[in-house]
Chain A
Amino acid sequence: MVATGCRDDELVVPTEYDIVPETMAADSDIRGFYLVNEGNMGSNKCTLDYFDYATGLYARNFYAERNPHVIKELGDVGNDIGIYGSKLYVVVNCSHKVEVLDARSGVRIGQIDIPNCRYVRFYRGNAYVSSYVGPVLIDPNAPKGAVYRVDTLSLAVTGKVTVGYQPEEMEIVDDYMYVANSGGYRAPEYDNTVSVVQMYDFKQVQQIPVGINLHRLKKDRYGKLWVTSRGDYQSRPSRLHVLEKLPGYNRMAVTDTLDVACSNMAFFGDSLYYYATEWNNFTASNTVSYGIIDIRTRKVVSTNFISDGTEAEITIPYGIAVHPETGDIFVTDAKNYVSSGTLYCFDRHGRRKWSVRTGDIPAHIAFLPR
């Protein structure tokens, strides 16, 4: 850095490159992956990193250099990322927008203004974005949340459905969308339901009680839903719930609640990789656990998917993803939330392959098809 006593022109934040010891298999369909760093609230430091398997280069803070004309860069507090077709969608929570980029070049195509947006999923030419803010008129002090429907060609909002309080993740199974409602703005009266939205007319048809303060909601290869509840951070702990359709019915029902705390998860084959961070008031420290669940038996088959002791270096695991071909496991460390994090890559046996410095609060990963 130039150390001088005088003020210079403010430069567009430059990209930094690290070399990662990784190569691409010749027949791989995965070109690389994007990683969203959330950035602490008010810092406007949501950044996008990109790793390219073909070149082995990890590009840190990639957005600003590709899009130098965007005023105040990517924004404040990234919350999700997704790739659909040729487009990359970054949900930027406190900038109240979904940023749409060309997935190959990272060049900006446009933005969709959605207030307090949280997560994005795709279905039949539409992007669906959950938002903490639904209609303000019903209850001005605690408005219900909504899911917005966005046409992925025109990037226009084409519909909106009101769901429960402060909705988080969602999935679409057999023409129905399932939305995890947290009710986080209403503590201690958290929401405890999964909203069911019928896709053909985009209406909420049911709310299934599951557990308080729901967050993650992911479908596995058998069409089951895995839903996490965050609990109340005090007497009621985090739990992992399973929803599935009973034989002969088209309705999802809670069929199991595992005695496992879960902050986030990812699937590979029949394995569900998860981690959990729970604060212990007594020891004044975080208890972190990593495990594998067999999704057929719903049993914990391993209480640590990291086999080489690297977990001792990880302060706060904050994101998890599994390479869909190789089964490499990615875990991000958000450290103290206000300094650079680390991305760890483990092979499928839990041995560390490499790690790289990221932006602040590395959290969400999307794989880019070739």
Chain B
Amino acid sequence: MKDSFKYFILATAALALPAVSRAGEESDSAITTLREVVVTGRRVAPPEIIPAQVLSGDELRRLNSNSVADALRYFSGVQVKDYGGVGGIKTVNIRSMGTNHTGVVYDGVELGNAQNGQIDLGQFSLDNMEALSLYNGQKSEILQPAKDFGSAGSIYMRTRKPHFEAGETWHMRATVRAGSFDLLNPSALMELKLGSRVTASLSAEWLTSTGKYKFRYRRVNPAGELAYDTTAVRQNGDINATRIEANVYGTLNTGTWSAKVYNYNSERGVPGAIVNNVWRRGERIWDNNSFAQARYTGYFGKFTSLNNVKYAFYRTHYVNNDDKQVKIDNLYKQREIYLSSANEYQAADWWRISLSYDFMWNTMSADMYGFAKPDRFSHYLSAATALDFKRFKVQASALGTFIHDELRGQESPADKKVFTPAVYLSFNPLRSTSDLTLRAFYKRSFRMPTFNDLYYADMGNSKLSPERVTQYNVGVLYNRTRRGFVSAVRVSADAYYNKVRDKIVAYPKGQQFRWTMLNLGLVAIKGVDVSGLITINPVRDLFVTVRGQYTFQQAIDVTNPADNYYRDQIPYIPRHSGSAVVNAQWRGWGLNYSWIYVGERYNQQENIRYNYTQPWYTSDVSLSKDFSLGKVRLRALAEVNNLLNQDYDVIINYPMPKRNYRFTLNVEI
């Protein structure tokens, strides 16, 4: 029992945010948004074969979101696991393949976590976020670090970069948010022009909240009589966090460079599961995550080189102070070094090739009994090519991954060598216009067993193999922008089939809740993602945008016909889910309504009534007003979340907040 318990803690508690370097700023800024195609540098980044789902700029800011995780709920094919509250852990699962298959890239740098492979996206603020993009498979771009070819799905977060008009030398922005849960969240951003070719930004943020909110459990018996109805206050969900980030950007005759230093420091309570007779727990986590990264992109005629370097240090301190349970006081430290060089050559107008090599070193130490001290050396080598025949485009890539783990005082497990190819195709069937695109991809990818899977005291299994995923996707996109009553229309639909092999699952050994990890699972996923967007301009100055997405997923466990959950939908994956957003803008006023729907799910493998979890759907509303006082621009925003006061759990026994409020004031000079 204690083993699984500790593992759970380690898995959930130690969501440090490691890092890896990734991607060029050119590719990042080449995201095709509705309104513009931003192109920087000299190399005009080719449009992506399969465009990302993107939320950016004002649209992102209007979405009543506390964190990046909240905003990602508006993407199709995505399930967010949310343990509730401001400080609750939030992880993302793309197309049911599992959180560990999701790559998360922060300003061109992949965040990683060698310990448990999960990134807590609740830790990432939207305060200085410029755009969020979601790619199924990889970004269809060949000039990118080798590691970027590796994930089954990727989320790219891009922060705001300074842009100065002629004569400007500085910008400043200050924001304060306050609201329910005793939330107070001031932040500031300073942007400076340090010279004709160098700019800098400094961003800082403080977040504090008691995390207290009312939740309610109500049951009726089948005759409709009330069985119980209780409302309580969520305890031990407090958070106190700071984020400091500094960036420098420069241009040279032969390219561009940038550097970033980042620190996130938090103390959080872990609210824990609400079970009979237990309404508060005594667990706390301190996270201190820092990284520094630098990038240089060089342009030499037909040759482009993108180079990244990064160092990261993550420290997690977990304490359980509950008198009724075993005392735990553990310190986990992770370090990471990452070097990457991606190189592209334009062989002809229609033909580009690239070669990338990444090296990464991860290490971890934990002051607990039986945890091996692993060092992991990873080498990634990728080759890719892109062919552009105007209406028909092809990209193919191949990634070789070589991983060697070294343990102090123990025999090291066998080295892992994995080869993963991907092919992306797109085709414009109409000769007259490029509004309509057909697309398809095939991709193989894998995830390495994490340090916890392999080396965690007693339950780790150093013989684990990588968990492998194969994806097939076909889709269609219609995208049109013009002047008039309907100013923009975008509709896309994709159908996909994924297979997860050698899925790493916890398997019981012996008595007393003892577990080990085995490559046992086999999951087949069939899905359809549909999304649409329309902007209309019914009268002068009034713009109404409606955005919707729907996801159908059948994700079934096909491991063993003898299991009583054979061919049952896997836990926490709804068959139906979707969202809708309606936004109206009129002369500085903005009104936003968003609705999120997650259909019925099962909270364990077996699809029986005891594991049934009801659908949930929430409505959020916000009203904003922009105005100017001379050179100073102000924005006031009022939000109401969970307007209809629904009592729901995303994860069983982790109740979510009832109706709550937030107010934001933003000043920009």
Residue positions of A touching B, CB distance < 8 A = 1, 3-14, 40-45, 47, 61, 65, 68-77, 92-97, 111, 113, 115-116, 132-133, 136, 140-142, 184-185, 187-188, 215, 230, 233, 263-264, 277-279, 284, 286, 315-316, 318, 334-340, 357, 359-360
- Beta-carbon contacts under 8 Å, B187-213 to A: none
Q: Is the CB of A184 within 8 A of B220?
A: no
Contacts of A61 in B (CB 8 A): 610
Q: Nearest 10 CB-CB pairs, A to B?
A: A75-B276, A68-B227, A279-B509, A76-B275, A115-B324, A72-B276, A44-B275, A95-B277, A42-B273, A185-B326
Q: Is the CB of B617 within 8 A of A7?
A: yes
- State the CA gap A132–B274 with chains docked (Å): 21
Q: Is the CB of B605 within 8 A of A339?
A: yes
A–B pairs, 20, beta carbons within 8 Å: A3-B600, A5-B597, A7-B615, A12-B221, A40-B4, A43-B653, A45-B610, A68-B227, A68-B228, A71-B228, A71-B276, A76-B275, A76-B278, A95-B275, A96-B278, A96-B324, A184-B2, A188-B370, A286-B510, A316-B508
Q: Does B514 touch A at the CB level, under 8 Å?
A: yes
- Cβ proximity bits B609-639 to A, threshold 8 Å, 1 near / 0 not: 1101011110000000000000000000000
Size of B's binding interface in residues, CB under 8 A:
66
- State the CA gap A74–B277 with chains docked (Å): 9
- Beta-carbon contacts under 8 Å, B440-490 to A: 458, 461, 463
Q: Does B389 touch A at the CB level, under 8 Å?
A: no
Contacts of A7 in B (CB 8 A): 614-617, 646, 648
Q: Is the CB of A9 within 8 A of B220?
A: yes
What 18 new A-B contacts, CB under 8 Å, besides A277-B510, A279-B516? A5-B576, A5-B615, A7-B648, A10-B217, A12-B219, A68-B221, A71-B228, A72-B275, A92-B277, A95-B275, A97-B277, A115-B324, A133-B323, A141-B327, A184-B2, A286-B508, A334-B508, A337-B508
Q: Is the CB of A69 within 8 A of B227?
A: yes
Q: Is the CB of B1 within 8 A of A41?
A: yes
By beta carbon, the residue of chain A nearest B229 is A71
Contacts of B56 in A (CB 8 A): none
Q: Is the CB of B612 within 8 A of A72?
A: no
- State the CA gap A3–B575 with chains docked (Å): 11
Contacts of B604 in A (CB 8 A): 43, 338-339, 360
**A-B interface pairs (CB < 8 A), number:** 180
Q: Does B599 touch A at the CB level, under 8 Å?
A: yes
B234 to chain A, nearest CB (A): 14
A339 partner, pick from B224, B370, B565, B597, beta carbons under 8 A: B565
Q: Is the CB of B2 within 8 A of A44?
A: no
- State the CA gap A13–B508 with chains docked (Å): 27
Contacts of A263 in B (CB 8 A): 510-511
A5 partner, pick from B4, B5, B599, beta carbons under 8 A: B599
Contacts of A13 in B (CB 8 A): 609-610
Q: Is the CB of B609 within 8 A of A1?
A: yes
If over half of A's interface residues share one DSSP class (helix, strand or loop), that class is named, otherwise mixed; here it is loop
- State the CA gap A143–B326 with chains docked (Å): 9
By beta carbon, the residue of chain A nearest B230 is A71
Contacts of A111 in B (CB 8 A): 277
Q: Does B518 touch A at the CB level, under 8 Å?
A: yes
- Beta-carbon contacts under 8 Å, B507-556 to A: 507-516, 518
Q: Is the CB of B514 within 8 A of A279?
A: yes
- State the CA gap A71–B231 with chains docked (Å): 11
Q: Is the CB of A339 within 8 A of B606?
A: yes
- State the CA gap A359–B326 with chains docked (Å): 27
Q: Does B652 touch A at the CB level, under 8 Å?
A: yes
Contacts of B561 in A (CB 8 A): none
Q: Is the CB of B219 within 8 A of A92?
A: no
Q: Does B408 touch A at the CB level, under 8 Å?
A: no
Q: Does B218 touch A at the CB level, under 8 Å?
A: yes
A239 to chain B, nearest CB (A): 14
Q: Is the CB of A11 within 8 A of B220?
A: yes
By beta carbon, the residue of chain B nearest A38 is B513
**Looking at B224, B609, B648, which has the most chain A CB atoms within 10 Å of its CB?**
B609
Q: Does B8 touch A at the CB level, under 8 Å?
A: yes
Q: Does B369 touch A at the CB level, under 8 Å?
A: yes
A129 to chain B, nearest CB (A): 14
Contacts of A334 in B (CB 8 A): 508
B222 partner, pick from A14, A72, A76, A77, beta carbons under 8 A: A14
Q: Does B563 touch A at the CB level, under 8 Å?
A: yes
Q: Is the CB of A338 within 8 A of B273?
A: no
- State the CA gap A270–B617 with chains docked (Å): 61
Contacts of B253 in A (CB 8 A): none
Contacts of A359 in B (CB 8 A): 610
Report if A92-B325 is in contact (Cβ < 8 Å); known contacts: A69-B228, A316-B508: no
Report if A233-B458 is in contact (Cβ < 8 Å); known contacts: A11-B220, A72-B276, A277-B511: yes
By beta carbon, the residue of chain B nearest A213 is B512
- State the CA gap A315–B511 with chains docked (Å): 12
Contacts of B564 in A (CB 8 A): 335, 339-340, 357
Contacts of B275 in A (CB 8 A): 42, 44, 72, 75-76, 94-95
B615 partner, pick from A6, A115, A338, beta carbons under 8 A: A6
A229 to chain B, nearest CB (A): 12
Q: Is the CB of A68 within 8 A of B327?
A: no
B559 to chain A, nearest CB (A): 10
Contacts of A5 in B (CB 8 A): 576, 597, 599-600, 615
- State the CA gap A60–B509 with chains docked (Å): 26
B634 to chain A, nearest CB (A): 39
Report if A76-B8 is in contact (Cβ < 8 Å); known contacts: A45-B610, A263-B511, A286-B510: no
A44 partner, pick from B222, B370, B563, B653, beta carbons under 8 A: B653
By beta carbon, the residue of chain B nearest A116 is B324
- State the CA gap A116–B228 with chains docked (Å): 26
Q: Is the CB of B510 within 8 A of A136?
A: no
Report if A72-B221 is in contact (Cβ < 8 Å); known contacts: A92-B276, A142-B327, A279-B510: no
**Looking at B221, B230, B463, B608, which has the most chain A CB atoms within 10 Å of its CB?**
B221
Q: Is the CB of B276 within 8 A of A70?
A: yes
Report if A10-B277 is in contact (Cβ < 8 Å); known contacts: A184-B2, A286-B509: no
Q: Is the CB of A72 within 8 A of B608?
A: no
Contacts of A184 in B (CB 8 A): 2
Q: Is the CB of B327 within 8 A of A41?
A: no
Q: Is the CB of B612 within 8 A of A1?
A: yes
- State the CA gap A230–B610 with chains docked (Å): 33
B510 partner, pick from A1, A45, A278, A339, beta carbons under 8 A: A278
A318 partner, pick from B230, B511, B515, B646, beta carbons under 8 A: B511
B301 to chain A, nearest CB (A): 55
- State the CA gap A8–B219 with chains docked (Å): 10
Contacts of B218 in A (CB 8 A): 9-10
By beta carbon, the residue of chain A nearest B462 is A281
Contacts of B463 in A (CB 8 A): 284
By beta carbon, the residue of chain B nearest A275 is B511
Q: Is the CB of A41 within 8 A of B513?
A: yes
- State the CA gap A12–B610 with chains docked (Å): 10
- State the CA gap A267–B659 with chains docked (Å): 57
- State the CA gap A5–B323 with chains docked (Å): 43
By beta carbon, the residue of chain B nearest A1 is B609
Report if A41-B8 is in contact (Cβ < 8 Å); known contacts: A68-B228, A69-B228: yes
- State the CA gap A25–B518 with chains docked (Å): 46
**Looking at A71, A111, A263, which has the most chain B CB atoms within 10 Å of its CB?**
A71
A295 to chain B, nearest CB (A): 22
Contacts of B518 in A (CB 8 A): 284
B656 to chain A, nearest CB (A): 13
Contacts of A279 in B (CB 8 A): 509-510, 514, 516
Contacts of B324 in A (CB 8 A): 96, 115-116, 133
- State the CA gap A11–B324 with chains docked (Å): 31
- State the CA gap A71–B275 with chains docked (Å): 9
Contacts of A76 in B (CB 8 A): 273, 275-276, 278
